[in-house]
Amino acid sequence: TLLATAPLVAVLASEQRAEAQFPFFGGSDIPAPPDVAAVPADAEVTASGLAFKILQPPSCESPQECKEQRPFKFDKVTVDYTGWQTNGKMFDSSVKRGQKITFGLDQVIKGWTEGLQLMAPGEKRRFWIPAALAYGENPGGGRPGGLLVFDVELYSVQRGPRPPETPADVA
């Protein structure tokens, strides 16, 4: 799964129990898109190296409305996702489990934190997340290494607490 901190173990254990309890969520992997081996030339790339393509536009009415609906670092989001390695092997999928996932943007890998802040509800994107924004090249612990590819659909944003403003005399 995507959680980058200690809750990862608990999440994995609960998912394994869920799959054991509900085998109808199992079955074959979701086939990899044809462009998982490398970032395609027509993908947009951010300064950090995160690459993406919009697969489905957001459901908002205007660019301004979309901007206002994007999540911030301290918000929670509900998404569906599938992740593949560049060899086409699927390693995780809420879609396969039949269960959307909700998490805080500050609880996941850096590539997800950055990428989801570019999205608005109803939008679906494909992300190519470099190792430096994911789990690294050789992370161990069963986590995938190297460039990872995710299809992510953002369903909703739950606003979280905002940090206090920096006083003018400190800035």
Statement: residue 9 has pLDDT above 80: no
Q: Give the Å distances, CA to CA, from 167 to 108, 110, 143, 162.
A: 29, 28, 41, 15
Model confidence band, residue 11 (pLDDT cutoffs 50, 70, 90): very low
- Work out the average pLDDT over 132-151: 94
pLDDT (tens digit per residue) in 24-76 = 334 578 999 999 999 999 999 999 999 999 999 999 999 999 999 999 999 99
Q: Say what percent of the chain tops pLDDT 90.
A: 73
User: Cβ atoms within 10 A of the Cβ of 87, count?
Assistant: 10
Percent of the chain with pLDDT over 70: 84
Residues that are catalytic: 81, 91-92, 109, 135, 150
pLDDT average, residue stretch 107-124: 97
Q: How far apart are CA 161 and CA 27, in angstroms?
A: 39
pLDDT at 22 (0 to 100):
35
Q: Give the Å distances, CA to CA, from 160 to 75, 77, 141.
A: 4, 10, 31
Question: What integer pLDDT is reported at residue 2 of this predicted model?
Answer: 53
Contacts of 1 (CB under 8 A, 6+ apart): 8, 11, 12, 15, 92, 101
pLDDT of 123: 97
pTM (two decimals): 0.81
Instruction: Compute CA 64 distance to the chain's CA centroid, rounded to the nearest angstrom.
Output: 23
Question: Which residue do the tokens 């789990």 mark?
Answer: 135
Mean pLDDT score of the chain:
86
Token pair belonging to 141: 């612990």
Predicted confidence (pLDDT) at residue 154 exceeds the cutoff of 70 = yes
